[in-house]
Amino acid sequence: MEGKDGKMKARIISMEEGLREIEKVRLIRVISREYNLLIMEDYMPVIGEITGTVTIVSDDGEYKAENIKGFFSVRKNLFSLMLSEDFECLEEL
């Protein structure tokens, strides 16, 4: 499920803000205790748990969530992030 213009799409789900979608994603940085990932278009499928920071860079801006806890997956250019109920959604920089 690609975003527009052949770029990735991101979906963030949180208890506070519900579902948020970001189109035209160029790259996603996932920094956690276990790993440091730079996810770009056509990245291999992956699923993981995160305790750390996620940054999403799109054509429309940069979004960052620090000190979060949750789960993420990447499949067919769709990045999905489900945040723990204790954490808020992404902040636009």
CATH number assigned to the domain comprising residue 75: 2.60.15.10
What is the token pair recorded at 17?
């803000």
Residue 86 CA from chain centroid, whole number:
17
Q: What is residue 17's DSSP assignment? A: T
Instruction: Pick the more confident residue, 5 or 82.
Output: 82
pLDDT score recorded for residue 88: 55
**Can you read off the two tokens belonging to residue 64?**
């960052």
Name the band, by pLDDT with cuts 50, 70 and 90, for residue 14: confident
| Structure letter (DSSP) for residue 77 | T
Q: Higher model confidence: residue 2 or residue 8?
A: 8
Residue 56 lies in a domain: yes
Domain count, the chain: 1
- Residues of the domain holding 25: 4-87
Residue 8 lies in a domain: yes
Q: Which of 51, 55, 22 is nearest to 38 (CA)?
A: 55
Is 92 among the domain residues? no
Q: Given a cut of 70, is residue 56 above it in pLDDT?
A: yes
